[in-house]
Amino acid sequence: MRSKFLDRMRRSLGFRLAVWYFVIFVLSSLAVSIVSYVFLSSSLQDNRKAIQAKMQELAVVAETAGVEGIEQAAEIRRRPSRRTAFFVRIVNPEGRGVFINNPRLWEKFDIDSFLDRPAEGAWQYVPSKGDGDVLELTTAKLRNGYLLQIGRTVEGRDEILEDYRNTVTGVTIPMMLIAISAAIFFSFRALQPVRHLTQTTRSIVATGRTDARVPESGSGDELDELTQLFNQMLERIEALINGMKEALDNVAHDLRSPLARLRGVAEMALQAEAHRDQYREALAGCVEESDRIRKLLDCLLDISEAETGTMRLQLEKVTVSDAIAEIVDLYQYVAEDKNVSISAACEKCVVVSADRSRFIQVLANLLDNAIKYSLPGGEVFIKVGQEDHRTTITFEDQGIGVAPEEAAKIWDRLYRGDKSRSQPGLGLGLSLVRAVMHAHNGQVEVKSNLGRGSVFTISFPDHPNIG
């Protein structure tokens, strides 16, 4: 459990960001501290240089004027201060101090403690007995065997350094705490949108519901943009899924009635003690009904595919006049039987970009429709026009027409007007026309006068790259 948690922590982006922030923050503050410590300590080093300079100066005095000269040069008469004054002492070869300048200044230091062991050239430190001050001094041997000692208080140099160290150490812990909290805060805030995204996605994965949306921060930054796009994607997916669900529901619903009929025919035949011919009749009925179901299923699937945009269209250049000639040929006998004449006016050169077999199917359905609802002796006109970058094909009949209140419904699946119920058909022809045309980015339209006839128009957008 624990190692799993740690492992997850280690892989969490927020945690890694926080750690990096923290490490960089601490390292840079550490660097600043060290650099300022070095500067501070080196500026304190200047004390020694001053002492050495004084030493050289007095050594020259000793050369020329002897010990007395030093005494004169070293004695400070005007307001001697321990902070600025040099400590000057001369020790005879027997190891006894023969001169100290301004003895009152140095009485706090145990200056006699190291008379017996003067370390020539080395630095020695004499702590003060009262305060924490330290006298830093060095020793040089004069020619006559006397020792010259020169020093100056370090003005609490080590103390300052130690104070500095203490301060840095004291500041370091709160600083680290601040760094950690800042790191956590920033990574938390920066990753907030990502967390929302994760939560939403997780809930979608877990529940399968696509209506969840990620809250948008509105800040307009990159993550906000991502969130918006993510929501748009969910929107589209939801629309697609709903479309497919609806299509499935419709198909299931539309199959119930023909299946009920199929079952009914079979059941009736099973119940009655019937003659062989009646059984044959019932079986033939079953076969016919199952054929109808298959056609219905194919047609519904075509419509669903076209509506949801999953229909594969093999677009090619189709010459409209050829396609019209084909379907006129297909329907010529049907029209003749009904005493309906078909006249098609189409220029040879008009070309649309379409899936050929789907296009023919659309034309066939429209012509079928026009002939079906024509009255005997009527005429069907097929016209092709080009206007406003669109190719339009109209089917005009002089048939029974569509009532205005029905005009919008005729495109619906399985809708059959009062007058059309007596006609054979699945009630899917016009739905398929509309779905396939929409899949082609085309449009469908109907204008109709009840009792006078209808004009069905389909239109294709022109593709400048084709043609």
Partner 1 sequence: MRILVVEDDKKIASFVVKGLTQAGFAVDLAGDGEEGANLALAVPYDLAVVDIMLPRLDGLALIARLRREKILTPVIILSAKRSVDDRVKGLQLGGDDYLTKPFSFTELLARVHALIRRSQHASEPTRLTAGDVAMDLLTREVTRAGTKIDLQPREFALLEYLMRNAGRVVSKTMILEHVWGYSFDPATNVVDVLMSRLRNKVDRDFEEKMIQTHRGLGYALKVS
Binding site for partner 1 (CB under 8 A): 281, 283-288, 290-291, 294-295, 298, 301, 312, 329-331, 333-334, 337, 357, 360-361, 364-365, 368-369, 371-372, 424-426, 429
CB of 250 to partner 1, least distance (A): 18
CB of 203 to partner 1, least distance (A): 34
CB of 429 to partner 1, least distance (A): 5
Minimal CA–CA distance to 255: which of 299, 297, 304, 307? 297
Nearer to partner 1, 372 or 440 (CB): 372
Nearer to partner 1, 75 or 288 (CB): 288
Nearer to partner 1, 239 or 287 (CB): 287
CB of 410 to partner 1, least distance (A): 14
Nearer to partner 1, 76 or 364 (CB): 364
Nearer to partner 1, 62 or 426 (CB): 426
Nearer to partner 1, 117 or 276 (CB): 276
Nearer to partner 1, 179 or 370 (CB): 370
Which tokens go with 237? 């997916």
CB of 427 to partner 1, least distance (A): 9
CB of 266 to partner 1, least distance (A): 13
CB of 366 to partner 1, least distance (A): 11
